[in-house]
Amino acid sequence: MRATKARPVTSNAGRGAFELNQDAVRISNVVATRQATRSDELRDHLEEMILDGRLAPGERLDEMELSRRFGLSRTPVREAIKSLLAIGLIETRGRQGTHVALLSIPAIIEMFDVMASLEGLCAKLAARRATPTERAAMRAVHEELVKAYEAGDPVNFYKINQQFHDLLYEAAHTHFIAEQTIQLRRRIGAYRLRATYQPGRMLGTLAEHVRIMDSIDAGDPDAAQKAASDHVQLLGDQLTDFISSLPPRLNLSQ
Amino acid sequence: MRATKARPVTSNAGRGAFELNQDAVRISNVVATRQATRSDELRDHLEEMILDGRLAPGERLDEMELSRRFGLSRTPVREAIKSLLAIGLIETRGRQGTHVALLSIPAIIEMFDVMASLEGLCAKLAARRATPTERAAMRAVHEELVKAYEAGDPVNFYKINQQFHDLLYEAAHTHFIAEQTIQLRRRIGAYRLRATYQPGRMLGTLAEHVRIMDSIDAGDPDAAQKAASDHVQLLGDQLTDFISSLPPRLNLSQ
DNA sequence: AAAATAATATCCGTATACATTTACCTATTG
DNA sequence: CAATAGGTAAATGTATACGGATATTATTTT
């Protein structure tokens, strides 16, 4: 069948099997909003699937199967895979196809070390640069987080927690550091998800957030840096403990 | 012309216009050595061209032109570009083609902040983990660096300096952090190159390296972390000063 | 029966053809 | 003369076809 014949729609409306509207280029520094290509859509879609666990670490990504599933040719599929490969979210084993990245525990520990450093940097900058509005926004989101905790809603807690951290990056008025941090968060995401609901973690998170906000409000960059860094480090410790405690079969640490 | 007819050689010997032998997959966590594809070769080649200045920041990367120039079809060219896009070395402006990434001064400053953190982390770990052999290797390379300085050979100095830092990452016994640091070094590389030969920088570098090594040998992680972090920060400061001092036309900060 | 070799099938890498969008240029009108 | 609109050309995005490599399975031999 011919290229265009296959496509039901050629305009921008209702583009594919899955809906993802146009997006600003996120990975690079470009600001301009551009038409999302099928390749871009698929990249984002796959990323989302990896992050929310629909694609488990180690799972195979078959080009043909993805083509069929999303009604695309192999070209955009391959390009999406190339992008995710470069980011490190998926990996290739020679000619045995590509798989969702399988992280070893040492690798995860290192990632959290870096994550802690980056978050610390953001907090440090936020302590110097955050506007009153931004500080207030963090407090407000934190209130939401408390509510989610009190309601015993871990799913919401997870989402709002991300919002809190996004606000922190914003308050730091950075571009590159925030981007780098978010990218790393994505890369760990598949694992992080599996350990969110650890006993005591939510309560710990709340206390640590308060410490971060207080340091920022006090205008103490070093304290803020340490608070944010410790916060991430604690999460990392708990996560690696959790993974280590799993039975070897489910351990995921290859 | 048909696919295979076009290729002069189908075996591994003498594959393309430019020679890059097979390489272990570098960007991802994969260990297995695999056959380098044309796409991989082109990616590395383009990266090298960007790093050594043959492709200047902002310069256009035309798919067709690259195809012709390297005797490839557009497919591997596009895949190579996709990879570099995901890393952030190049950027796309909608449909106006792809260009070598143009960094603003604030972005460069942020990158050096991150770089300083990462190098600090490596030094900290190296202070705890470095074997006597690794410490000796650093001293040995440092001697080479001194020689290059005394010989007034900045090109060699630049290369040996990279070796020193590579040894530091190795001594830290990390994978992810080192990989991340090297990737960042690449991303700044195009700019860094243009400011290597700043007056006093080489001498400063030597002194700072000694401080790092002494801290590592003393087994003082915190001191090593600070020494390495400061070292990178100083380089960054000098680099941004240099760029700022350029006439606006050459400023490169868009 | 087990191991090794050969054959086949599947999936990856590359080339090319085709469609679509955007930018630039030209022409026309105010 | 300038500005806007339309058309054309060039380059990007997508589809498909083809060659090759590797893994798996079956068959043969020891």
**Which tens digits make up the pLDDT trace of A214-234?**
999 999 999 999 999 999 999
- C-alpha B164/C-alpha B180 separation (Å) is 17
Q: Is the pLDDT of residue B5 over 60?
A: no
Max Cα separation, chain A? 66
Half-sphere exposure of B41 (CA within 13 A, CB side): 19
A29 in contact with B, Cβ within 8 Å? yes
C-alpha dihedral, A149 to A155 to A158 to A162, nearest 10°: -120
CA–C1' distance B64–D21 (Å)? 28
Give tens-digit pLDDT for B120-135.
999 999 999 999 999 9
- C-alpha B207/C-alpha B210 separation (Å) is 5
Tell me which chain A residues have a C-beta less than 8 angstroms from the C-beta of B104. 29
Predicted confidence at residue A31, as pLDDT, reads: 35
- Mean pLDDT over the full length of chain A: 82
Output b/e per residue, B139-166; b: 16+ Cβ within 10 A.
eebbebbbebbeeeebeebeebbeebbe
A114 in contact with B, Cβ within 8 Å? yes
Candidates A92, A102, A176; nearest CB to B25: A92
Predicted confidence at residue B22, as pLDDT, reads: 32
A177, A119 in Cβ contact below 8 A?
no
Predicted confidence at residue A20, as pLDDT, reads: 29
Predicted confidence at residue B196, as pLDDT, reads: 66
The three-state secondary structure class of B164 is helix
Sign of CA dihedral A38, A40, A43, A47: negative
Q: Is the pLDDT of residue B228 over 70?
A: yes
Q: What is the mean pLDDT of residues B197-213?
A: 90
* DSSP-assigned letter for residue B193: G
pLDDT band for A243, please (50, 70, 90 cuts): confident
Structure tokens, B183:
């990737």
Chain-centroid distance of CA B62 in Å reads 23
Predicted confidence at residue B17, as pLDDT, reads: 31
- C-alpha A120/C-alpha A224 separation (Å) is 7
Structure tokens, B148:
């290059």
Q: What is the mean pLDDT of residues A161-176?
A: 95
Strand partners, B92: B98
**A180: burial class by Cβ within 10 Å (0-12, 13-18, 19+)?**
buried
**B107: burial class by Cβ within 10 Å (0-12, 13-18, 19+)?**
buried
Tell me which chain B residues have a C-beta less than 8 angstroms from the C-beta of A35. 94-95
Give tens-digit pLDDT for B61-106.
999 999 999 999 999 999 999 999 999 999 987 677 899 998 888 9
Predicted confidence at residue B24, as pLDDT, reads: 36
Other C-beta atoms closer than 10 Å to the C-beta of B242 total 16
Q: Which residue of B has its CA nearest to A124?
A: B113
Predicted confidence at residue A34, as pLDDT, reads: 60
Element containing residue A140 per DSSP (H, E): helix A132-150
A225, A124 in Cβ contact below 8 A?
yes
Strand partners, A33: A24
B29 in contact with A, Cβ within 8 Å? yes
pLDDT band for A122, please (50, 70, 90 cuts): very high
Structure tokens, B68:
């012709």
Q: Which residue of A has its CA nearest to B96?
A: A34
Chain-centroid distance of CA B23 in Å reads 17
B103 in contact with A, Cβ within 8 Å? yes
Q: Which residue of A has its CA nearest to B86?
A: A83
pLDDT band for A96, please (50, 70, 90 cuts): confident
**A247: burial class by Cβ within 10 Å (0-12, 13-18, 19+)?**
exposed
Q: What is the mean pLDDT of residues A27-52?
A: 74
- C-alpha B242/C-alpha B238 separation (Å) is 6
A28, B92 in Cβ contact below 8 A?
yes
Q: Is the pLDDT of residue A16 over 50?
A: no
For the entire predicted model, the pTM comes to 0.81
Tell me which chain A residues have a C-beta less than 8 angstroms from the C-beta of B79. 78-79, 82
* DSSP-assigned letter for residue B35: P
- C-alpha B22/C-alpha B40 separation (Å) is 9
Provide the total of helices (H) and of strands (E) in chain B, helices listed first. 10, 5
Structure tokens, B242:
């240099």
Least confident of A43-52, A58-67, B91-100, B112-121: B91-100
Percentage of chain A with pLDDT > 90? Answer: 58
Predicted confidence at residue A251, as pLDDT, reads: 52
Least confident of A91-95, A235-239, B41-45, B213-217: A91-95
A145, A209 in Cβ contact below 8 A?
yes
Predicted confidence at residue B245, as pLDDT, reads: 79
- C-alpha B182/C-alpha A179 separation (Å) is 17
B105 in contact with A, Cβ within 8 Å? no
Half-sphere exposure of B103 (CA within 13 A, CB side): 25
- C-alpha A226/C-alpha B235 separation (Å) is 25
CA–C1' distance A74–D28 (Å)? 39
Q: Find and give the residue nearest to C12, measured CA to C1'.
A: A95
Predicted confidence at residue B178, as pLDDT, reads: 93
Which residues are within 8 A (CB) of B121 and not within 5 positions of it... i.e. 6 or more apart? A113, A114, A117, B172, B177, B225
- C-alpha A161/C-alpha A65 separation (Å) is 35
List bases in chain D with any atom under 7 Å of a protein Cβ. Answer: 11-23
Q: What is the mean pLDDT of residues A113-118?
A: 95
Element containing residue A18 per DSSP (H, E): none
For chains A and B, count residue pairs whose Cβ atoms are closer than 8 Å: 118
Predicted confidence at residue B15, as pLDDT, reads: 31
Give tens-digit pLDDT for A150-164.
998 888 998 999 999
Chain-centroid distance of CA A131 in Å reads 25
Number of residues assigned to chain A = 254
- C-alpha B103/C-alpha B206 separation (Å) is 28
Predicted confidence at residue A248, as pLDDT, reads: 58
Q: Pick the residue with more confidence: B52 or B173?
A: B173
Binary contact (B92, A25; C-beta < 8 A) = yes
Q: Are strands A60-61 and A98-100 parallel, antiparallel or unpaired?
A: antiparallel
3-state helix, strand, coil in chain A (%, to 5): 65, 5, 30
